[in-house]
Amino acid sequence: MHENIFKMNEKEYILPGNRSCQGCGLSLAYRYILKALRENTIVAIPPSCLCVLHGLYPTTSTIIPALNTTFASNAASAAGIVAGLNALNKTDITVLALSGDGGTYDIGIQSLSGAAERNTDFIFACYDNEGYMNTGTQRSGATPMGAITTTTPVLTKQEPKKDFLKIMEAHHIPYLATVSPAYPADLYDKFVKAKRIRGTRYIHIDTPCPPGWGYPTRDTIKIGRLAVETGLFILFEIENDRFRFTGRSKTMAERGKLLPLVNYIEKQGRFKKMSIEQLSSLQASVNSRWNECLKRAEG
């Protein structure tokens, strides 16, 4: 259960009036992440929506120490922060690398894999908005099949989304979790927990994006919930290789039945060209993954 939500940190680390878009899933998630990690935290930032959210010199919308780095290097940058702090015997600071899906699945995978293999003592969180949204919605390795992007404008993306969680799981890191800003209590709890664990912790954030996904800005929470309730995005955590459902996914697994994927798809402009075949293929992969998780949770 949510142990921490009742004593949620009241302090705000993102000031009102930042540069993120209206309805931004990242700014919601980031607000709760920083509340959970609190002020003794340093954030590593690649060029991305997060970089924009942090503001343009000489003003910033955040009150958290943050270091910008290049696109490919965010995990290495965080690893350098960790190494530097260790060298100076400052071992009580939480280091968070926060990259988008491009900075995680694509250009950032090498430095992340290296840092995870070394069990670098940091949290790497991926805010997955399923494309290069900061540069104007180009296709990434995280874009789902059937989605229109500005680099798949006519035919839609033909390939399925990369199963990045499997890749991270294969690193056998101490903690791996998924979260959604549509379920802030679950998100908050997982970051509080991650903060207490040593070694590499990977947290995947499903991050609805109104301009990139094509839905009204008021619907970010609705879209985030539908992703979970259709089973497309599953809330879980893996601690020491042990899998367990959490939050809404846990109740869905115990009592509920998944909603049909079309409920999620039909609300987003990016899927307006999705073919019936693509939809059934995506539904089939959602079902198979859900069943796989049900089995793992039993075992």
Partner 1 sequence: MNDVRIITGNEAAALAVKLAKPGVIAAYPITPQTSLAEKLSEYVEKGELKSEYVRVESEHSSLTVCISASTVGARVFTATSSNGLLYMHEQLHWAAGSRLPVVMCCVNRGVGAPWSIFNDQQDSFSQRDTGWIQIYCRDNQEILDTIIQAYRIAEEVYIPVMVCYDGFILSHTMMPVEIPDSGLIEEFLPPYRPHTILSPDDPKTINPVFFPTRRENSEGILCDGYMEMRYKLQAAFEKSGEVIRNASREWAEITGRDHGGLIWEYMTEDAELILTGMGSIATEATLAADALRDEGIRAGVVGIRAYRPFPKEEVAQAFKKATAIAVFEKCISYGYEGGVCSDLKAAFYGTDIKAPIHDYIAGLGGRDVKTGEIVDAARATLETVGSGDTGNKTIWLNCYKGI
* DSSP state, residue 219: G
Rounded least distance, CB 59 to partner 1, Å: 6
Interatomic CA distance for residues 267 and 192, integer angstroms: 33
Is 72 one of the binding residues for partner 1 (CB under 8 A)? yes
Interatomic CA distance for residues 260 and 292, integer angstroms: 18
Nearer to partner 1, 116 or 187 (CB): 116
Nearer to partner 1, 152 or 200 (CB): 200
Applying CB under 8 A, among 39, 241, 277, 292 the residue interacting with partner 1 is 39
Interatomic CA distance for residues 38 and 32, integer angstroms: 10
Applying CB under 8 A, among 4, 9, 18, 113 the residue interacting with partner 1 is 113
Applying CB under 8 A, among 11, 22, 86, 216 the residue interacting with partner 1 is 86
* Window contacting partner 1 (CB under 8 A); options: 76-84, 137-145, 162-170, 202-210: 76-84
Closest CA to 214 of 148, 281, 291, 165: 148
Instruction: Give the CA count within 13 Å in the CB-facing half-sphere of 155.
Output: 5
Nearer to partner 1, 42 or 203 (CB): 42
Interatomic CA distance for residues 98 and 169, integer angstroms: 18
* Window contacting partner 1 (CB under 8 A); options: 113-121, 188-196, 220-228, 284-292: 113-121
Rounded least distance, CB 288 to partner 1, Å: 32
CA 219 to each of CA 34, 181, 215, 216: distance values in angstroms, whole numbers, following the listed order = 23, 12, 7, 6
Number of residues engaging partner 1 in binding (CB under 8 A):
46
User: How are beta strands 175-179 and 123-128 bridged, if at all?
Assistant: unpaired
Nearer to partner 1, 59 or 240 (CB): 59
Measure the CA dihedral 266/268/272/274, to 10°. -70
* For helices 25-37 and 220-229, angle between their N-to-C axes, nearest 10 degrees: 80
* Window contacting partner 1 (CB under 8 A); options: 73-81, 165-173, 229-237, 276-284: 73-81
Applying CB under 8 A, among 11, 56, 159, 294 the residue interacting with partner 1 is 56
Check if the beta carbon of residue 133 is closer than 8 Å to that of residue 49: yes
Residues in 115-144 at the binding interface with partner 1, rule: CB under 8 A: 117-118
Applying CB under 8 A, among 1, 16, 17, 59 the residue interacting with partner 1 is 59
Applying CB under 8 A, among 5, 21, 66, 297 the residue interacting with partner 1 is 66
Closest CA to 102 of 63, 35, 49: 49
Instruction: Give the CA count within 13 Å in the CB-facing half-sphere of 107.
Output: 17
Rounded least distance, CB 121 to partner 1, Å: 11
Is 79 one of the binding residues for partner 1 (CB under 8 A)? yes
Nearer to partner 1, 90 or 242 (CB): 90
Is 12 one of the binding residues for partner 1 (CB under 8 A)? no
User: How are beta strands 94-100 and 66-68 bridged, if at all?
Assistant: unpaired
Interatomic CA distance for residues 173 and 215, integer angstroms: 35
Q: Which residues of the chain form contacts with partner 1 (CB under 8 A)?
A: 39-42, 44-45, 51-52, 54-60, 62-70, 72-73, 76-81, 83-88, 90, 93, 110-111, 113-114, 117-118
